[in-house]
Chain A
């Protein structure tokens, strides 16, 4: 362990001078310095960073993250502020004034009312707003939960329901809608409630694992050792075990909590963030971050521990002075000494992907460096799988996938490996088609571009992309959840027998949730919470307090991120992989043909249609190598599906090989392209066949003169006579046309010439 720590320390030193990293924070940060600030509060419900002063609250929007966003302010009355949160519809501000009192502030009217604890024995641990249909406001007290409804008319918080239990401390994230209440001597016994839009779900009570250092000492779990993490629409809880130096993970199901596995930690201070469903474990002391993609069962990190990189800091003074403005030089001085700042003591990690530098009043957003991550692994298929799961920078992930695929083909890696790469891309595309995220992404892209600054469009796109994630999360779930189901049922029954009071409650809950369970058979929490994720932002957009300008900015930013999924369609595979690769590739094209065959195999398995251009390309490759036998097999067995483009390419390639031309002709006929077929027959000199065909299929678009000229060119009077006769018989009024007269005369001249 110590050896590892020292080695990671070493990498810090190495990369401190701008070395490798997979995660970075981008300069400039969101500066939230205001004179007279009394600290910063992050409200994850409304996604606002709040900076109260003695009589005002400044709020910065953090989603979408814009470092230059201007704060909005609300005036409040003076008094102590322990905690502050905006309601989800942004109409109210709730401020915890003391351990007994909460003050509610109506933003429009400025009216206030207070809510106090009934008894002195209990004190308020915290509160949050919720979109649960039962209540609006949840108060967490040492004696349990109070679910309250906000009644503005009577200026009251009505008590809807109380859940009595002893609480030492609690953890809540709005993202998961999950509140975990810690109790017991070691604070390792947990009761969880999910207050989702579908209702309240009580989780079975569970205990967290804690190693003992000595026989007698019992470590106490602290709130900062627990993180609720939402990844791929699933909810996990990460628990730091300081004695064992392990990070335990628990996954929450509707009726069970299942320990999933542990990851080693190399630092006494640990923080956890989630960026684009990737779990980031910050080893604060070691100043490195380890990335985990806990999509699969594997608990192996994505890559080696590497430091967090500080990106985009302007080193020249001229550029820094441009930005400095009111924030003053001191901030700049601090930043320029960035090695000291990274993982500073003043850093607070906010859910899910923000870092607040309390000392400097900076807010950083953590970004994944997808390029660096994908470059760090040689296992290309798994890199692509990772990239294909990225939603946040879907476009970038997509471009990376395309580039990687091009590279592996150009480098002529083994076909089996490229085949796996292709399988990953195709199955992901097929998946995104099934869930609709691919098509929706495109649709949204189109509408938002056309409607420009329209206020509604960002909202709809947010909803859609969120639902895409939701759907993904749900059905990716299938296997593991099914496996867990039995186990979890057993556990829940155990728990309910031991706790009879809860049992009744559990039953009543069951009734309310059965309908949901029908919908969501996997029993996953969090699936629906993810779908609601977009709500706060949409309600914000309607808020009069926020003007339209930042919204517009968000539209333009979103256009880049428009793609809801990095899935790559077969058309894109053709135009961004096969076509460019074909141009660059030199030498024997059989390798590329092999790759294309693998692609076709993959698409055929997923029942995806392939762009005819790819078939055309394949024909060109095979014909260029004069591999006509194989080309014939490809056509006959419909490996290259028939289409007009394919047929035309066959005719084109058939200039060198008559057999291939015939295949093209046959395909034209099978496709019922009657006009083309007749013209082609005439070109090949099969006049009578062409006429017969024209008559059978009533092709009237081919001019008679075409046949007559051809017949005349053959210098065969019998043929000319036959053609002439055919038209006279089958086209009414042909005898009166100039064609008839001309050729009739020519024919009689020919005949007289023969006679003499």
Chain B
């Protein structure tokens, strides 16, 4: 993983999580720090970052008690704020460098904070709840640290953390990418969903179905869908499973000699930080056998013989080699569910079984799994066949001539030109689009602040310096961003292009007049 060694160079980014309700007394300031990256920064520096953030939050709350500080733009740094839970803040400090390569979009950075927190919540429940259970803060720290480090490791390119930059302006974090299916396939999918639903007897199970990296069906709330989608794409889908092996090999080469070594480095750094935290905690040490789950760790999922994905992240049952089934929290229903993932070719299926409905633990789960195999495997075969027949491949949603991003805010769904196609755009176009998106973000947050529940239409077409059209169009909860390079110079052409696109691919949403 080598993140620890990467931090030491300490360029670019700091990330902290702190609780405003803690450490209010003089001399106990360290208590409020729940997480700090890089961990090996001196406490004084850590405290100064947090102190500044806290000061700004307190100050801005005077004017805007509901939504305090969002961002500070300093000369050399940007501070991105995110209030993850009441009084629990996440702040990301990014260095503005002179190079063009690091131009961010603040909202995209905030999405990163939001995402890691949502995922953490899914696996561990809320930070506040953990703090209430164990007020010393040791448990939450020992959970947050490896979790966020594992999460950040996904942004490692070589030795450098690469946060979402302007190059990613035609993507939207925190949304779900869906597979477009025909009616027949959709019915088959729904038929499968119904079978899965009834697999655990009386209590209905939830399920999500993926094809490759795209969502096909879900029965959980949009928030939970996003989390599970994110997790599945990161760790569970066939590509995630296989790339775990291939892509990490070159990273290992870059950072440390062997995987074991990398792990030990990280463990070392973790223990260092633990030691540091504990030293000022004055709390008695936790039981050493206490298990800290690291669901975002790489290479921990594998496909079992029966098609179900297995992992030892959740540990093994004492005295047996049977691994403990993963459990997660659903945000909407606040219930704990077992997470069973099944894979057949390109099809990944996540079954969520309420813990309350399974009486005898692992045995009960494996019984449900057996039920799934018995009742649904035929349907899964059929669905997989139907979906793969109708799938256009990686570039299925490429529309030639267009580089676009389509976001449905209501349903948290996005669709975009494939990354390889976006990569063909010139830097100028991307920068212009990044800028435009920032403007739209601003407009959106302004509308939200003013409490206007009506969604205004917005249409902006910009002729960029490189003669590309950079277009943003929002209407009633849907957003369309588009870059047209090598296009005709008239505005009429640009709006025609949008109209054509809208009629063909968005059901005419953006061509109302």
A residues near B (Cβ < 8 Å) are 415-416, 419, 588, 590-591, 593-594, 597-598, 600-601, 604-605, 627, 629-630, 632-634, 637-639, 641, 658-659, 662, 666, 669-670, 685-686, 689, 692-693, 695-696
Interface status of B476 (Cβ within 8 A of chain A): yes
Identify B191's interface contact among A597, A633, A685, A695, CB under 8 A.
A597
Identify A629's interface contact among B183, B197, B204, B219, CB under 8 A.
B219
CB atoms of B513 and A693 under 8 A apart: yes
Q: Mark B164-204, 1 if CB is under 8 A from A, else 0.
A: 00000000000000000111101111110111011000001
Q: Please judge, given known A-B contacts A638-B183, A659-B410, A662-B476, whether A601 and B219 are in contact too, CB under 8 Å.
A: no
Residue of B whose beta carbon sits closest to that of A419: B191
Inside 8 A of B219's CB, which chain A residues have their CB? 627, 629-630
Inside 8 A of A591's CB, which chain B residues have their CB? 198
Inside 8 A of A601's CB, which chain B residues have their CB? 187-188, 190-191
Interface status of B60 (Cβ within 8 A of chain A): no
CB atoms of B191 and A659 under 8 A apart: no
CB atoms of B190 and A597 under 8 A apart: yes
Residue of A whose beta carbon sits closest to that of B224: A629
CB atoms of B512 and A415 under 8 A apart: no
* Docked CA distance A742–B191 (Å): 59
* Docked CA distance A689–B225 (Å): 32
Identify B507's interface contact among A593, A597, A658, A670, CB under 8 A.
A670
Identify B197's interface contact among A594, A605, A669, A692, CB under 8 A.
A594
A-B contact pairs, 14 of them (CB 8 A): A415-B195, A419-B191, A590-B197, A594-B191, A594-B198, A597-B187, A601-B191, A604-B183, A629-B219, A629-B225, A639-B187, A669-B508, A689-B457, A693-B512
CB atoms of A696 and B512 under 8 A apart: yes
Interface status of B218 (Cβ within 8 A of chain A): yes
Point out which of A416, A633, A669, A693 has the most chain B C-beta atoms below 10 A from its C-beta.
Answer: A633
* Docked CA distance A689–B475 (Å): 10
Inside 8 A of B204's CB, which chain A residues have their CB? 588, 590
Residue of B whose beta carbon sits closest to that of A658: B410
A676 → B minimal CB distance (Å)? 15
Q: Please judge, given known A-B contacts A415-B198, A685-B454, A692-B513, whether A629 and B221 are in contact too, CB under 8 Å.
A: yes
Judged by DSSP, the binding face of A is helix
A362 → B minimal CB distance (Å)? 55
* Docked CA distance A588–B222 (Å): 21
B residues near A (Cβ < 8 Å) are 181-184, 186-191, 193-195, 197-198, 204, 217-222, 225, 375, 410-411, 454, 457, 476-477, 507-509, 512-513
Identify B509's interface contact among A419, A604, A666, A692, CB under 8 A.
A666
* Docked CA distance A689–B194 (Å): 40
CB atoms of B513 and A695 under 8 A apart: yes
Residue of A whose beta carbon sits closest to that of B186: A637
* Docked CA distance A685–B453 (Å): 11
Residue of B whose beta carbon sits closest to that of A625: B204
* Docked CA distance A639–B217 (Å): 12
CB atoms of A604 and B184 under 8 A apart: yes
Known contacts A594-B198, A658-B410, then 7 further A-B pairs from the complex at CB < 8 Å, ordered by chain A residue: A416-B195, A590-B198, A591-B198, A600-B187, A629-B225, A638-B183, A693-B512
CB atoms of A670 and B194 under 8 A apart: no
Residue of A whose beta carbon sits closest to that of B181: A637
CB atoms of A637 and B195 under 8 A apart: no
Q: Please judge, given known A-B contacts A597-B190, A639-B186, whether A633 and B198 are in contact too, CB under 8 Å.
A: no
* Docked CA distance A588–B183 (Å): 26
Top 3 nearest A-B pairs (CB, nearest first) are: A637-B186, A594-B194, A692-B513
B376 → A minimal CB distance (Å)? 10
Residue of B whose beta carbon sits closest to that of A633: B217
Inside 8 A of A696's CB, which chain B residues have their CB? 512-513
Q: Please judge, given known A-B contacts A669-B508, A696-B513, whether A593 and B187 are in contact too, CB under 8 Å.
A: no
CB atoms of B191 and A632 under 8 A apart: no
Identify A604's interface contact among B187, B189, B218, B220, CB under 8 A.
B187
Q: Please judge, given known A-B contacts A597-B190, A639-B183, whether A629 and B220 are in contact too, CB under 8 Å.
A: yes
CB atoms of A662 and B181 under 8 A apart: no
B389 → A minimal CB distance (Å)? 16
Inside 8 A of A594's CB, which chain B residues have their CB? 191, 194-195, 197-198
Identify A666's interface contact among B190, B198, B507, CB under 8 A.
B507
CB atoms of A686 and B454 under 8 A apart: yes
* Docked CA distance A637–B190 (Å): 10
B49 → A minimal CB distance (Å)? 40
Inside 8 A of B188's CB, which chain A residues have their CB? 601
Inside 8 A of B512's CB, which chain A residues have their CB? 689, 692-693, 696
Identify B194's interface contact among A415, A633, A692, A693, CB under 8 A.
A415
Inside 8 A of A605's CB, which chain B residues have their CB? 184
Residue of B whose beta carbon sits closest to that of A602: B187
Residue of B whose beta carbon sits closest to that of A639: B186
Residue of A whose beta carbon sits closest to that of B195: A415
CB atoms of B191 and A598 under 8 A apart: yes
B381 → A minimal CB distance (Å)? 15
Inside 8 A of B217's CB, which chain A residues have their CB? 633
* Docked CA distance A649–B307 (Å): 41
* Docked CA distance A634–B189 (Å): 10
A627 → B minimal CB distance (Å)? 7
A634 → B minimal CB distance (Å)? 7
Inside 8 A of A416's CB, which chain B residues have their CB? 195, 375
* Docked CA distance A695–B513 (Å): 8
Identify A659's interface contact among B220, B411, B454, B509, CB under 8 A.
B411
